[in-house]
Amino acid sequence: MNFSHYPVLKALLPYIFGVIFGFFLPINNLNLLFCIFWLFFCGIIAIVFRHKKSFFLHQTATIVILFSFFFAGYLSVSFHFHKNIDGLNLEKITQKQTWIAEIIELPLEREKSYKIIAKLYAINDTSYWITNKVVLYFQKDSVIKDYRVGDKLIIHTKLSFIKPPKNPYQFNYEKLMKRKGIYLTGYVGKQYVKKIEGIQTYSVKMYASYLQRFLSEKLVASGLSGGEFSVAAAILLGNDDTLEPELRTSYASAGVSHILCVSGMHVGIIFMILNFLLLPLGNSAKSNFIRNLLLLVSIWVYANITGLAPSVSRAAAMFTFVLVGKFLNRQSNIFHSLFASLFILLIINPLLLFEVGFQLSYLAVFGIVIFQKMIAQWFHPKTKIGNYIWNLASVSIAAQLTTFPIAVYYFGQFPNYFLLANLFIIPISFVTTVTGVATLVFSFNTFLSNCLGYLLSFEVKIMNEGIQFIEKFPGAVIANISIHFIQVILLYIIVLTFCIFKKNRWKKLVFSLLITFNIFLSIDIINNIKNEHHIEVVNYDIPKCSAIQFCYKKNAIFFSDSIYNEQDKRYQYSVKKHDIKKHIKNRFITCNEDFENDFLCKKGDYILFCDTIYFLRKNKNKPNDIKLIIYNHNFPN
């Protein structure tokens, strides 16, 4: 593949670099002024020298254009990520008061509450809006679960800023919400919420949410329930709210969690089904125009119903370019479609670049189009079935090549049986999707709907049991992997080296791989050396729990009043990431237990660790509140 044949890259690459710089380097007034000045200067240059064709001016214009797209990407982040929240009236939002809330996302059920995303404005000042989205949590037994997108509620609550994580390496929920333009949160009790009847905001998102809920109810009416309904709703409609954590873990451990979200494959199936149903329109120019227009509208309607997940947006955008090419009677190119769809989606929302699903979706497609043909040539089966299985395997291997570095970085595990799992799941998920679409299409007929629903339930059950069976294989997952981001880049360099060097350049290929691999190992050795000298005391902030960790090299003593093993959910959420990063092995001890080993001694409430004495100060009124302080001789008894 020659990248010089794709002019959109001249705009896309500097734009992406600009987005990355804008994300990690907050925009201040000076930066903003400089960016605006540069864009204005570029416009003047383009107007003055638009008819000049000399080499020097051509190169100058190219540089000007590259920097223009760089600053365009840099500026675009400021309108999404670094929004100015200083204009918010802190006196209004930090005091408990009455608001009108407009629901903009369907209520999501949590363990102890319902979560919605809403926009607010003060009830006593209709001109004062909180234009940023707000996260609201409602009491579990409230009727919020029956409300829809566009509904307006009267609520009484106190808002506060979403707080950053208090524990090392803990999941940063504040940063995740900030990327979505959400800074504020609040809790609403059952007695402080009332729906405003007869007033509703109508939007595409509202109708899409109605359709998603309506179709979910049709799946239930056709006889699906439990895990079968959860997986079918996730695959067909992008509704994974009811998916059990254990089932989600099984799919992740087998390396096929991509099946649980609507992806390009599902959009492709919908495209093929609709295209087949529209064949009676004929092949005239007018018929082709109507068919392509209906396909385009249907794809984006389906994408909206499924919640416009990154993978769906990517697939819908790519099919859009294919259909537009048909409108213009031009042959589409897969790389043109990929680059153009990526560019347009990032212009609409540049922060998609930092969404894990978005990254994995595009990396998987790039892997397939770049490496699949090369991998398919490694082996030539002599039978049609063997050829089908090998083509399916080559697609899975190609996608895994470009996604495993970033997947290991984010999730810290690698599924060893991903190839076996994909060979099993892809064919059956194709059949399941077709059956699911048929079930929804014939939902008006009770008999057909029940028959198809029974078949769909059976197919999903086989799929679930097959994945759970593969998950139980010995060594199914390499877990607790921790790699540096630089190592991720080096892994991609190794992958791309195979693509860049041709067969007659084996010496350069081997030399490049050796250098890259040595750097990768050097970083790992340096991290191991750091961990060998790692001494740290961590007083974890966990609700209704006390947890203190004394880390010495790669071992740690974990004192807690209620966390006794690594299977505890609180440990998994607040502590595990830190231990993986530091390669720590814990020994769990209760706070009231005396303990002694070669680097720590605990007697009563006193702990001697690395020549320092610590004191456990307990709150008599709050048994779970234990503070760790450094003891000195002036400490009161």
pLDDT of residue 372: 82
Q: Tokens representing 556?
A: 């740690």
CA distances for 414 relative to 81, 365, 417, 443, angstroms: 32, 19, 9, 40
Residue 460 to residue 30: CA distance in whole angstroms: 57
481, 414 contact by CB (below 8 A) = yes
Q: Tokens representing 208?
A: 């899409």
Angle at 220 between CA 215 and CA 223, to 5 degrees: 130
Residue 119 to residue 203: CA distance in whole angstroms: 14
Model pLDDT for residues 14-42, shown as the tens digit of each residue: 888 888 888 777 665 555 556 666 666 66
Instruction: Among 170-184, 202-216, 361-375, name the one with the lowest average pLDDT.
Output: 202-216
607, 616 contact by CB (below 8 A) = yes
Question: At residue 90, does pLDDT exceed 70?
Answer: no
* 90-202: CATH number: 2.40.50
Tell me which DSSP letter residue 504 carries. Answer: G
How confident is the model over 558-576, as a mean pLDDT? 87
Residue 188 to residue 120: CA distance in whole angstroms: 13
To the nearest 10°, the Cα dihedral for 551, 552, 555, 559?
A: -40
pLDDT classification of 54: cutoffs 50, 70, 90: low
Q: Report the chain's mean pLDDT, rounded to a whole number.
A: 78
pLDDT of residue 635: 45
How confident is the model over 80-96, as a mean pLDDT? 61
pLDDT classification of 637: cutoffs 50, 70, 90: very low
pLDDT of residue 404: 87
Residue 257 to residue 247: CA distance in whole angstroms: 10
Q: How do 606-609 and 600-603 pair as beta strands?
A: antiparallel
CA distances for 444 relative to 395, 440, 448, angstroms: 38, 8, 9
Q: Tokens representing 213?
A: 């809920």
555, 587 contact by CB (below 8 A) = yes
CA distances for 226 relative to 244, 446, 464, 590, angstroms: 9, 20, 12, 38
When mean pLDDT is compared over 155-169, 256-270, 473-487, the highest value belongs to 155-169
How confident is the model over 101-120, as a mean pLDDT? 82
> Would you call 243 helix, strand, or coil by DSSP?
coil
572, 579 contact by CB (below 8 A) = no
CA distances for 311 relative to 2, 84, 500, angstroms: 26, 30, 27
Terminus-to-terminus CA distance in the chain, angstroms? 75
Angle at 77 between CA 73 and CA 78, to 5 degrees: 120
How confident is the model over 206-211, as a mean pLDDT? 76
Angle at 533 between CA 530 and CA 537, to 5 degrees: 105
How confident is the model over 329-344, as a mean pLDDT? 78
User: What is the CB neighbour count within 10 angstroms for residue 244?
Assistant: 12
Sequence-ordered alpha helix ranges (H) in 381-505: 384-411, 418-441, 446-471, 485-500
How confident is the model over 402-421, as a mean pLDDT? 86
Model pLDDT for residues 121-163, shown as the tens digit of each residue: 766 555 555 556 788 888 877 677 778 888 888 888 888 888 8
Question: At residue 327, does pLDDT exceed 60?
Answer: yes
Helix axes 204-221, 285-305, angle to 10 degrees: 80
Q: What percent of the chain has pLDDT over 70?
A: 79
How confident is the model over 194-221, as a mean pLDDT? 76
Model pLDDT for residues 482-531, shown as the tens digit of each residue: 877 887 887 887 777 766 655 556 556 666 666 666 666 666 666 666 66
Residue 569 to residue 572: CA distance in whole angstroms: 5
Give which of 557, 539, 560 is closest to 624, Cα–Cα.
560
How confident is the model over 211-239, as a mean pLDDT? 82
81, 87 contact by CB (below 8 A) = no
pLDDT of residue 510: 63
> Would you call 555 helix, strand, or coil by DSSP?
strand
Angle at 591 between CA 604 and CA 598, to 5 degrees: 70
Question: At residue 313, does pLDDT exceed 50?
Answer: yes
pLDDT classification of 636: cutoffs 50, 70, 90: very low
**Phi/psi at 193 (5° precision):** -135, 140
pLDDT of residue 69: 83
Question: At residue 190, does pLDDT exceed 80?
Answer: no
Residue 268 to residue 298: CA distance in whole angstroms: 12
How confident is the model over 530-559, as a mean pLDDT? 85
Domain boundaries of the chain, sorted by first residue: 3-78, 90-202, 209-356+408-478, 357-407, 485-519, 533-630
Question: At residue 549, does pLDDT exceed 60?
Answer: yes
Helix axes 310-327, 285-305, angle to 10 degrees: 170
Question: At residue 358, does pLDDT exceed 80?
Answer: yes
Q: Tokens representing 81?
A: 């990520």
Question: At residue 55, does pLDDT exceed 60?
Answer: no
Instruction: Among 310-319, 394-403, 406-415, 429-438, name the one with the lowest average pLDDT.
Output: 310-319
Q: What percent of the chain has pLDDT over 90?
A: 1
Helices and strands (H, E) in the chain, number of each type? 20, 19
| β-sheet bridge partners, residue 117 | 135
Instruction: Among 2-6, 238-242, 379-383, 524-528, name the one with the lowest average pLDDT.
Output: 2-6
Q: Tokens representing 200?
A: 């509703």
Instruction: Among 201-210, 285-294, 600-609, name the one with the lowest average pLDDT.
Output: 201-210
To the nearest 10°, the Cα dihedral for 546, 551, 556, 561?
A: -10
**Phi/psi at 127 (5° precision):** -90, -10
Model pLDDT for residues 209-224, shown as the tens digit of each residue: 778 788 888 888 888 8
Residue 137 to residue 155: CA distance in whole angstroms: 11
pLDDT classification of 4: cutoffs 50, 70, 90: low
pTM reported for the whole predicted model:
0.80
pLDDT of residue 550: 92
pLDDT of residue 129: 56
14, 67 contact by CB (below 8 A) = yes
Reported as type and span, the H/E element at residue 361 is: helix 356-376
| β-sheet bridge partners, residue 122 | 99
